[in-house]
């Protein structure tokens, strides 16, 4: 299942959010979008999901422009989880996950054993089975985030787009989510595209890193190549250095907190 955008530009009023973005996503890979706040990460994700209409350029799924896909058919292939999704507080975790099956079930068909299995797997994979009957209002921020990821997984789409999926999670649950993302890619062949703030987490899980700055793509490649480019320091306006940990295959960015403030 292929996803690409060509010469994509998005504008909100007079503000240019993305400029001339061209990316081709390889099936089964994990792509991490990084960049400063306002760099265009969320806009890029929403555009790839077909939720934001570009001012110029195009997005294609399996060779077909996004605007030619019916929403329900698109949902069987692509699942998008925004930063702050909304659902009624009284909805249970299991009911939320069950809503992820809408594209397969529709309005009038009852859930099949296959649907029930997909929901149960999504709850188990995200560690939400133990509180599946609790309402969303009863959950902590981390529990709520995992419940939403369960809903996205229950959709069983081949492409999963996640906007800051580790937000609100403690470090233990962040690791669980990142491990789940790796499992989905390696064992199920799911293509995962995620925007993420933590540079080092992106370097650890990403097959490819896309660095956005000011709505433009500054880098597209492997973590090892980004480490030696100097782009992290300039894009985020920090001083630091990449060091090798463990077996040395994944570089870790060590920030110098004593850096001189900009303009001094």
Residues 47 and 31 in one domain: yes
Q: Residue 13's domain spans which residues?
A: 1-77+157-239
Is 263 within a domain? Answer: no
- Point out the domain boundary residue: 107, 140, 156: 156
Closest alpha carbon to 168 in 100, 95, 90, 83? 83
| pLDDT tens track, the chain, 264 positions | 789 999 999 999 999 999 999 999 999 999 999 999 999 999 999 999 999 999 999 999 999 999 899 988 898 899 999 988 999 999 999 999 998 887 766 554 566 788 899 999 999 988 899 999 999 999 988 888 889 989 998 998 899 999 999 887 888 888 888 988 998 899 888 999 999 999 999 999 999 999 999 999 999 999 889 987 889 989 998 887 777 665 656 677 777 765 545 544
Q: Which residue has the tokens 């669980």?
A: 176
- Point out the domain boundary residue: 108, 137, 156: 156
State how far the Cα of 190 lies from the Cα of 159, in Å rounded to an integer: 6
Residues 222 and 171 in one domain: yes
State how far the Cα of 173 lies from the Cα of 180, in Å rounded to an integer: 10
Is 219 within a domain? Answer: yes
Q: Which residue has the tokens 């907190």?
A: 257
Q: Hey, CA dihedral for 154, 158, 162, 168, is it positive or negative?
A: positive
**Contacting residues for 58 by C-beta, under 8 A, at least 6 apart:** 5, 6, 7, 8, 65, 66
Q: Is 58 helix (H, G, I), strand (E, B) or coil?
A: strand
Is 249 within a domain? Answer: no
Residues 149 and 139 in one domain: yes
């Amino acid at each position: 299942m292929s996803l690409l955008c060509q010469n994509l530009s998005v504008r909100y009023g007079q503000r240019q959010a993305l400029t001339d973005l061209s990316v081709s996503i390889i099936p089964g890979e994990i792509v991490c979008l990084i960049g400063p706040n306002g760099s265009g990460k969320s806009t890029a994700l929403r555009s790839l999901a077909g939720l934001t209409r570009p001012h110029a350029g195009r997005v294609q799924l399996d060779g077909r422009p996004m605007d030619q896909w019916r929403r329900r058919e698109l949902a069987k292939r692509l699942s998008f989880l925004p930063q702050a999704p909304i659902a009624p507080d009284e909805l249970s975790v299991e009911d939320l996950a069950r809503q992820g099956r809408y594209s397969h079930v529709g309005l009038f068909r009852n859930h099949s054993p296959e649907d029930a299995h997909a929901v149960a797997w999504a709850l188990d994979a995200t560690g939400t089975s133990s509180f599946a009957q609790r309402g969303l209002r009863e959950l902590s921020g981390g529990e709520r985030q995992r419940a939403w990821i369960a809903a996205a997984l229950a959709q069983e789409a081949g492409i999963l787009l996640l906007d800051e999926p580790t937000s609100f999670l403690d470090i233990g649950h962040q690791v669980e989510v990142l491990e789940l993302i790796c499992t989905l890619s390696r064992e199920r062949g799911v293509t995962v595209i995620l925007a993420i703030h933590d540079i080092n987490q992106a370097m650890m899980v990403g097959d490819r890193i896309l660095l956005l700055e000011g709505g433009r793509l500054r880098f597209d490649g492997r973590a090892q190549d980004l480490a030696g480019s100097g782009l992290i320091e300039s894009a985020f306006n920090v001083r630091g250095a990449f060091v090798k940990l463990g077996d040395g295959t994944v570089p870790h960015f060590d920030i110098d907190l004593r850096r001189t403030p900009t303009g001094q």
